Amino acid sequence: MLSSAALRTLYTLRDAGFEAYLVGGGVRDILAGITPKDFDIATNAHPEQIKPLFRSCRLIGRRFVICHVRFGGEVIELTTFRGAISDSMERDDTGRILSDNVYGTLETDAFRRDFTVNALYYDISDFSIVDYCGGLDDLQARVIRMIGDVESRYREDPVRMLRAVRIANKLHFELAADTAEPIARLAPLLREIPAARLFDEVLKILQNVDAVANYESLAHFGLFTELFPDTDRLCDRDDMADDFVALALSNTAERIRNDLPVSPAFLYAALLWPPVLQRYRQTIRRERPSPAVVMQQAAEEVLGRAIRRVAIPKRFSIPMREIWLMQPRFEQQSDGRARRLMGHPRFRAAYDFLLLRAEVGEVPQALADWWTEAQTRLTAERGDDDIGVFDDAVPADDDAPPRKRRRRRRARTRSETPA
């Protein structure tokens, strides 16, 4: 399961006289019986010493400089051993570390890692695992445990709260009680994280096979409300909104399991749809203007608030708007309207969005059925094989059983596990 690119990087560093170890999620996943998606390497070589060794090496990061080495489509991430935490490190008022380019040893690097299961190092010189923090024991016990003082470590980098949830659900592990306890209280610290970084973190945690479990854990710990406050508020009081978000995430997870393409545009359109729909309905009932104009206004208003927390690039926010704007147009059932909409580049995504809405009872199933039948009939009349597809489309499952109403589950911690 160890990639040839990772091995080549390790041996290149070793041959140049440096220490080099495979570390982090790659080691953790291999030991847990999971095929790793990427590989990280820790070394005593500094970035300026690493760069000349690899033709395709790129230095990135300001808080802590890391090296990305590209081998075809694979990127290996290299970091220099980090030094011990000191009072001289630059921090903001909440305790978040702002500058961290302090180098150290293998041992100091281990204690700077976030969780014990991520502080395992594979040594290619003797094919052994180096474990300073008890990660092997926690892997055996199926526990995610923070290294060091839990609250301080979350304050240093609040994104660790998201990582704790994601890794626990990925491995089907439990959070140690002391690792879980402060999360709800410290969740507001996510507001200090740059919105662009949170966009990527949301994709990591919600655009994967564990999306529904992650969503439920985020909601339980009060993290989801820090990312999507408008959506969380509605999902807490409206089962249909909660079901819609969960269904969209479930379909996304299923596509990933089946190696089908997904797009952040469809995911984010679903995550922000409850407040968009609420605003749309409120205005339509009160003023009765053009549905297209009202939907455009609702989209602008909700996106304007959302990007303060999670920065959504225009290459995704534009198709999100198009998916939303087509929803009122589906309410007009005529062959002429169907022919026009079927030529739209976002038709397939918007249609599949409509199917999700019908499945949770937000619109009549008869409306979705009419559009399904219209596509079949009009496509046959034209003699076309393809009505246009969009990679983030979520396929309908005609054989799926009726969806049961769900409730947000409460994430268990280690102390709550039955004997």
Same topology for domains 4-138 and 229-382, yes or no? no
- CA–CA dist 110, 129 (Å, integer): 12
Architecture of domain 229-382 in this structure: Orthogonal Bundle (1.10)
- CA–CA dist 36, 23 (Å, integer): 12
The tokens describing 312, both together, are 């959504």
CATH class in words for 4-138: alpha beta
- CA–CA dist 16, 210 (Å, integer): 40
- CA–CA dist 236, 161 (Å, integer): 21
Q: Is there a contact between 183 and 222 (Cβ–Cβ < 8 Å)? A: yes
What is the SS3 assignment for 55?
coil
The tens-digit pLDDT sequence of the chain (419 residues) is: 789 999 999 999 999 999 999 999 999 999 999 999 899 999 999 999 999 999 999 999 877 789 999 999 999 999 999 988 755 555 566 656 555 568 999 999 999 999 999 999 999 999 999 999 999 999 999 999 999 999 999 999 999 999 999 999 999 999 999 999 999 999 999 999 999 999 999 999 999 999 999 999 999 999 999 999 999 999 999 999 999 999 999 999 999 999 999 999 999 999 999 999 999 999 988 766 789 999 999 999 999 999 999 999 999 999 999 999 999 999 999 999 899 999 999 999 999 999 999 999 999 999 999 999 999 998 887 765 444 433 344 444 444 444 555 555 455 555 554 43
Beta-strand relationship, 128-131 and 74-80: unpaired
Closest to 231 in 3D by CA, of 181, 299, 194, 278? 278
Residue 129 forms beta bridges with which residues?
A: 122
Number of Cβ atoms within 10 Å of the Cβ of 156: 21
AA identity, residue 181: E
AA identity, residue 174: E
Residue 9: φ, ψ to 5°: -65, -45
pLDDT of residue 393: 41
Catalytic residue positions, numbered: 38, 40, 114
Q: What DSSP string runs through 155-205?
A: HH-THHHHHHHHHHHHHT-EE-HHHHTTHHHHGGGGGGS-HHHHHHHHHHH
Domain ranges of the chain: 4-138, 229-382
